[in-house]
Amino acid sequence: MKIAVIGAGAWGTALAVSIGRSSLVSLYGANAELVGSINQHKENQRYLPGVSLSERVQVTDALESALNGASGIVVAVPTKGLRQSVMRCHSICGDRIPYLITCKGFEVETGLLPFQVVEDVAPSARYAILSGPSFARDVGEQKSTVVSLASADLSTSDIFSEVLLLGGIRTYFNYDVIGVSVGGAVKNVIAIAAGMGDALEIGASALAGLVTRGLSEACRLGTALGAKPETFMGLSGMGDLALTCFSDLSRNRRLGYALGLGKSLRDAEGALGQVAEGVHAANEVMLLARRLKVEMPITVAVTRVLSGEISPRDAAKELFSRAPKAEV
């Protein structure tokens, strides 16, 4: 079996390395210079240094070559690049090959979740959504990882679950593509808040409360969209939220921490050097919540900080001085 992985960032490289332990992989990157470097050094020194690629992983900047003979397409690009990536793949392969979508967030301007972007571009395409507590470095170094694999079609999930398991990634099936997708999107916004809170030294007790209420926000938004509440107690909800909010490997947490120290958004993003999906998702989540009349005060606070309307310290003061109310 051959799997095409679209996107040669940290996550795409890690998945290529993992899947390459059992299958042939064609890793596509649009940056010819980066592709050349990976081929020369047999590792992605820019995005995933220290993790070697096996001979089963072929790296190319020619998309048609990457897709030729593939049984599955793993799309590992940021959400803002998903539409273009699926459009290009679909123009070459049509609906023959199923997709595994790994990005998390909402498409800017349309407010669509990743699976909705796929449906918009290719209504008849088969797809599955990969989400849950997983860092690229852990996956690349073959550390045990447990994630959710969501799809309305079990046969599509089966195609990817086998190669993922052989690479050290255990999957749990889930038919709730809305819940899995919303959990993966909102947790990035809450992680920015957690990073800011840590920089402001609000304390472990307050931080735990902040993250727990963040989970409530994700659940409220998800159920308003038709998700199952229990999904948010699982890997793509509580599991992914905990990892992203409490680990220093989290890009969104690190960005929030920099903001909490007083850095500008531009400087924080520049120091990060990679995409923090929560920056792009926050405003879309807030707009969607307002349209659905869902209360999400943490998300609103993060959005206001990102826009420069309010400082992290003032945002924290507002959140923790809100009037008491029933928990559920």
Q: How many residues does the chain have?
A: 328
Question: Which sign, positive or negative, has the C-alpha torsion 284, 290, 293, 297?
Answer: positive
Indicate which residue of 2, 187, 293, 325 is catalytic.
187
- Phi, psi angle pair for 130, to nearest 5°: -105, 125
Tell me the chain's radius of gyration from C-alpha atoms: 19
Report the C-alpha gap between 99 and 86 in whole angstroms: 9
Structural contact between residues 246 and 299, judged by C-beta atoms closer than 8 angstroms: no
DSSP 8-state assignment for residue 189: H
- Tokens 């796929």 appear where? 118
2 a catalytic residue: no
Q: Which of 145, 247, 260 is nearest to 193 (CA)?
A: 260
Structural contact between residues 26 and 66, judged by C-beta atoms closer than 8 angstroms: yes
Report the C-alpha gap between 57 and 75 in whole angstroms: 16
Report the C-alpha gap between 147 and 156 in whole angstroms: 16
At residue 227, the 3 state secondary structure works out as coil
Report the C-alpha gap between 255 and 275 in whole angstroms: 10
Pairing of strands 145-150, 127-131: antiparallel
Structural contact between residues 167 and 142, judged by C-beta atoms closer than 8 angstroms: yes
Active site residues: 187
